[in-house]
Amino acid sequence: MSKGVFITFEGIDGCGKSTQLNLLKNEFKAKGLEFIEVREPGGTAVGEKIRTILLDRKNDSMTRMAELLLFEAARAQITEEVILPALERGVHVLCDRFYDSTSAYQGYANKMGRDLTDFLNMKATNETTPDVTFLLDIDPKTAYGRRATRGEEDRIELMGLSYQEKVREGYLELARTEERITVLDADRSPEAIYEDIRKQVWDLIG
């Protein structure tokens, strides 16, 4: 049996990842394809607890290293418990964020360094690499405007626009060296963005 295809969505907060993942999910359903949808951090019992710690505004004393290791801990859990078994069974995996988030947020914006985040990303996932990654690139101000109707900001959103700008730079730098990452202009209609995504996905899945 052939392995499932592993597709990840990346970008700054509010860039439109969930919207695109949903559009793709609907098409997978309509085609009767077997898939699972997961999100990071979270997606497992252990991971959801770690997510609560990571996003809790009260945890403002969390060190950068503690934060990095918590993201990797949640990732190790979901990779071994959910993602790898699905791919082995031939089930496709659609993932809202994966290790590129750590490279951009912790490695680049938090200045923990690419060497460290690359090393931990590989260890946490046993080198499970996405087949394709869609990076939804957008100006943080535009993304922030879209989020205005959402609830209270979490610990990471509270870092503000200049932080999101750094994260964006981190993603774009990563995309320059990683061929699997497709950069998409996310300042377009959801339908226009999705058209680019679906072409590439059906090329891959056939």
- Name the site residues for ligand ADP (rule: CB under 6 A): 11, 13-19, 146-147, 189-190, 193
Q: Nearest 10 degrees: CA dihedral of 184, 37, 44, 41?
A: 10
Given the rule CB under 6 A, which residues bind ligand TYD? 13-14, 17, 39-41, 55, 71, 96-97, 101-102, 105-106, 156-157
**How far apart are CB 9 and ligand ADP at their closest, in Å?**
8
**What is the spatial distance between Cα 2 and Cα 4, in angstroms, rounded to a whole number?**
7
Which CB sits closer to ligand TYD, 115 or 203?
A: 115
| Cβ partners under 8 Å of residue 3, min gap 6 | 87, 88, 90
Q: Which is nearer to ligand TYD, 13 or 137 (CB)?
A: 13
Question: 129 contacts which partner out of ligand ADP, ligand TYD, none, CB within 5 to 8 A by kind?
Answer: none
Among 178, 177, 159, residue whose Cα is nearest residue 12: 159
Task: State the nearest-atom distance from the C-beta of 51 to ligand ADP, in Å.
Answer: 14
93 beta partners: 6, 36
Could you tell which of ligand TYD, ligand ADP, none binds residue 200, using a CB distance below 5 to 8 A set by kind? none
What is the nearest approach in angstroms of ligand ADP to the Cβ of residue 13?
6
DSSP labels for 130-187? -SEEEEEE--HHHHHHHHTTS-S--TTGGG-HHHHHHHHHHHHHHHHH-TTEEEEE-S
CB of 95 to ligand TYD, least distance (A): 10
Least Cβ distance, residue 203 to ligand TYD (angstroms): 26
